[in-house]
Amino acid sequence: MKNIFVKKEKKASLTNKDASAVVANSAVQDKNTLVKILLTTLIIFFIANIIISPAKYIKEGLNGISAWAFNVLPSVLPFMFFTKALSSLGQMEKLTRPFQRVTKTLFNTPPISLYTFLMAILSGYPVGSKMIADLFTQGKINKEEAYRMFAFCSTSGPMFIVGAVGASMFKSASIGYILFLSHILSAFLNGLIYRKIGVKNLENSKNVRNHLKKRKKSEKKRKKVTFLSIWNKNFLKSGNSKKKEKEQTAHKSEQNVALKSENIEKNSLQKSSDIALKIDKKITEEKRENNNVDISEIVLSSTTAILSVGCIIAIFFIVIECLSPIFSLFPENISAFLEGAIEITKGCLSLSELANIKLAVVLASFVIGFGGISTLLQSLTMLQQVKMPVKLFALQKFTHALLSALISTIMVLVLM
């Protein structure tokens, strides 16, 4: 009788686990559906606003294009072109090799990451992301190194922080230097935080997930087989003993087949992952051998990147104008901060108009560190070949922004 109750309890626990798994899957599906519905509603809202008053939003689009043409284009395009040319020559690896121990100890990245970091802090968004993507496509860094470099190489530059935000918006170069210093120090600390991050190859992770699903199915089959064999042993004593032995032998053979199939799956998965790694190494070596400079490809790549940046800036100027009636419902400091969370330039301009300068500086520091959704999209367009997970990149930018706000708070309290 005890065995009966034990088996019933185990069976009940298995059904409870299956039910919880079904509930979890349905919850994920419901969440994805809700996100799609919200995005659809927002897009329809934006289109309706543009249709109702097209002149206003055409003007905002032109403001975004002029902000891109007079601020971003002249300062970012030359850096995009020349950094792409330098990385194509393959000489920066030799020049940065003496710093290998430093970068490996601090950030667990190759020495060329130091050159990328310097170019990123000199030129600003999204040059760092563009350089990382170029280094990855040229085979000079792998995916894990690229993900680690994003944590500290996606930064704004002094021309924007000190010149545009500090001197022009806040009317104070010293505020610009506080913002710039807190931004660079927080990027350095952010790189230390993510130095041990490791992301598996997407194809291998898919194989692992498929293997786990198959393994769960095989485990369920084995549990069913074991339950039936125990049931036969305890309760089917009547009847022919030879028939009972045959049934038990058949159940054992089914168990063996299930175990063998699982081992075969494990071996095949290991072999496929080894083959994938060999192919990746071969492709990387071939890329490293091809260090020829193709001027037309460099021009095309730089032009496409800078045009996509301009397109995103213009669109988000329109988005902020559409959302401005909603933002006006909040207090002035929260409204300005929300604008900065969407588009960095317009947000910093609104923050500079706040009465509380100290709070404005701290919030501006957070906004510059995060970059806004507009800058995130600019960077992600550069990272298509790297397949950077959006959640990971957003998390890295959030921690960068949080650290920047904390450092700037200390500096404001001490220096202002």
How many whole angstroms separate alpha carbon 214 and alpha carbon 232?
27
Q: Does residue 394 sit in the same domain as residue 350?
A: yes
User: Residue 412: its pLDDT value, please?
Assistant: 94
Where a domain ends, among 267, 289, 311? Answer: 289
Flag whether pLDDT at 402 surpasses 90: yes
Q: What average pLDDT does this structure show over 214-218?
A: 57
Is 139 a domain residue?
A: yes
Question: What is the pTM (predicted TM-score) of this model?
Answer: 0.70
In 319-383 the beta strands, taken as DSSP E runs, fall at none
3-state secondary structure of 324: helix
How many whole angstroms separate alpha carbon 87 and alpha carbon 40?
41
- pLDDT band for 219, please (50, 70, 90 cuts): low
Is 325 a domain residue?
A: yes
Q: Does residue 75 sit in the same domain as residue 138?
A: yes
Question: What percentage of the chain has pLDDT greater than the value 90?
Answer: 30
3-state secondary structure of 201: coil
User: Residue 244: its pLDDT value, please?
Assistant: 54
Would you say 374 and 314 are in contact if contact means Cβ atoms under 8 Å apart?
no
Q: Does residue 219 sit in the same domain as residue 324?
A: no
Q: Does residue 305 sit in the same domain as residue 399?
A: yes
User: Between residues 291 and 150, which one has the greater pLDDT?
Assistant: 150
207, 178, 156: which is closest to 345 by C-alpha?
A: 156
Q: Does residue 285 sit in the same domain as residue 298?
A: no
Where a domain ends, among 251, 274, 289? Answer: 289
Amino acid, single-letter form, for residue 256: N
Is 299 a domain residue?
A: yes
Q: Does residue 185 sit in the same domain as residue 218?
A: no
Q: Does residue 170 sit in the same domain as residue 303?
A: yes
Q: How many structural domains compose the chain?
A: 2
Is 324 a domain residue?
A: yes
Flag whether pLDDT at 247 surpasses 70: no
The per-residue pLDDT for range 298-307, each reduced to its tens digit, is 888 888 888 8
Domain assignment of residue 85, given as a range: 54-196+294-415
C-alpha distances (whole Å) from 125 to each of 79, 80, 224 are 11, 11, 58
The per-residue pLDDT for range 123-168, each reduced to its tens digit, is 888 888 888 988 898 888 888 999 999 999 999 988 889 988 999 8
Q: Does residue 206 sit in the same domain as residue 351?
A: no
User: Between residues 278 and 293, which one has the greater pLDDT?
Assistant: 293
User: Residue 203: its pLDDT value, please?
Assistant: 45
C-alpha distances (whole Å) from 6 to each of 77, 221, 222 are 71, 19, 17
Q: Does residue 60 sit in the same domain as residue 147?
A: yes
User: Between residues 374 and 242, which one has the greater pLDDT?
Assistant: 374
User: Between residues 50 and 250, which one has the greater pLDDT?
Assistant: 50
Where a domain ends, among 258, 289, 320? Answer: 289
C-alpha distances (whole Å) from 354 to each of 162, 183, 334, 359, 360 are 18, 21, 10, 8, 6
Q: Does residue 126 sit in the same domain as residue 139?
A: yes
226 Cβ contact partners less than 8 Å away, ≥ 6 residues apart: 255
Q: Is 142 left (phi over 0), alpha (psi -120 to 50) or beta?
A: beta
User: Residue 179: its pLDDT value, please?
Assistant: 96
